[in-house]
Amino acid sequence: MTVLAIIGAKALWLLYVWLASAILCSWLSARKGFGERPGLATGMLLSAIGIIIWLVVPAKDGSTWRRGGGRGRQEAPSSDAPAAEN
């Protein structure tokens, strides 16, 4: 009976890794301008390798990745800073 319990615990952790990689690949592909579906498929089929693939794939022009950077939000300008003049 303990052998089944050990296999069950390993399977649960592998399931968590698989789900987390699918979520992260979906988020990365959406930010890079490809939509969520290609990332979700990559994360589900390739698991953790899909994350590496989406980090290497270049972002499309005008995507959130190009506008906001890789981490998400950019630092907001200070209200004390002078306005830029053209």
* Predicted pLDDT at 83: 64
User: Which stretches within 32-83 are classed as H helix?
Assistant: 36-46, 48-56, 64-68
Tens of pLDDT along the chain (86 residues)?
667 677 788 889 999 999 999 999 999 999 999 999 999 999 999 988 999 999 999 999 988 888 887 776 655 555 666 666 66
What span, in angstroms and rounded, lies between the C-alpha atoms of 78 and 5? Answer: 55
* Predicted pLDDT at 52: 95
Which of 12, 30, 15 lies closest to 42 in space, CA to CA? 30
What span, in angstroms and rounded, lies between the C-alpha atoms of 27 and 21? Answer: 10
Cβ atoms of 65 and 31 closer than 8 Å: yes
pTM higher than 0.85 for the full model?
A: no
